Structure 1
């Protein structure tokens, strides 16, 4: 009996009834922690970029890709916060003198930075 292309590259079959079914398995992927930004991008891929999601999943690169996106987004988020704090003159002294004002301004900066990261990295 001639070998199929699948058998020539080392694939194996298992018999189920009268049929031979190829034994397919995803390549092993190193598990990496994925944070908030990575999970948001995963949801975006599942909803809006289904082909990209499927390609990454079946090639075994999804977790690595999401961990990289998460790292890029987190670094950009932190840089934006630091830059905005300096531009608006928010210091530790303000935190000591008027904690509520400092908190309000920091929440505003975080919200602005999150919107920028979402627009630039997560939803593209």
Structure 2
């Protein structure tokens, strides 16, 4: 038996593995983009709860760019929310210089609230 065969009609080559010929399939090439913490969270969500979408993105070669876009959207939304919420709550640089521990506590609470909103609207949507 031949180790490798090529099917002219389909354009697929096959390799002998044990007693079976398995197709030599590879994923399409994909441009590597940075995926931050938001993209990683969304990837974990896709793998656990949206398996079909995850598989479709992976096999079409669009997963990395999709996750990079989600990461960018979530990061922009998070930064904008933190800025707007800090302005609304009156958290300023003056408070930071005069009462740094209070500023840290309020900013941490504000960042947690913004993260919850981003998770609900972008990551787990």
TM-score strictly above 0.5:
yes
Residue 20 of structure 1 deviates from its aligned partner by 3.7
| Structure that is richer in strand per residue | 2
* CA deviation string 1:67-113 (max 9, x = no partner): 11001000000000010011111111110000011101100110000
**Where does structure 1 lack aligned partners over 5 or more consecutive residues?**
1-5
RMSD: 1.6
Q: How does 1:1-124 map to 2 (within 5 A)?
A: 7-16=8-17, 19-124=20-125
State the 1:19 CA deviation.
Answer: 4.4
Structure number with the bigger relative contact order (C-alpha 8 A, sep ≥ 6) is: 1
Q: Secondary structure at the match of 2:27?
A: coil
Q: TM-score, normalised by structure 2?
A: 0.87
| Structure 2, gaps ≥5 residues long | 1-6
Q: TM-score, normalised by structure 1?
A: 0.88
Give the match's secondary structure for 2:12. Answer: coil
* Residues in 2 aligned to 1:107 and 1:18: alpha-carbon distance in whole angstroms: 60
- Structure 2 CA distance for aligned equivalents of residues 66 and 60 of structure 1: 12
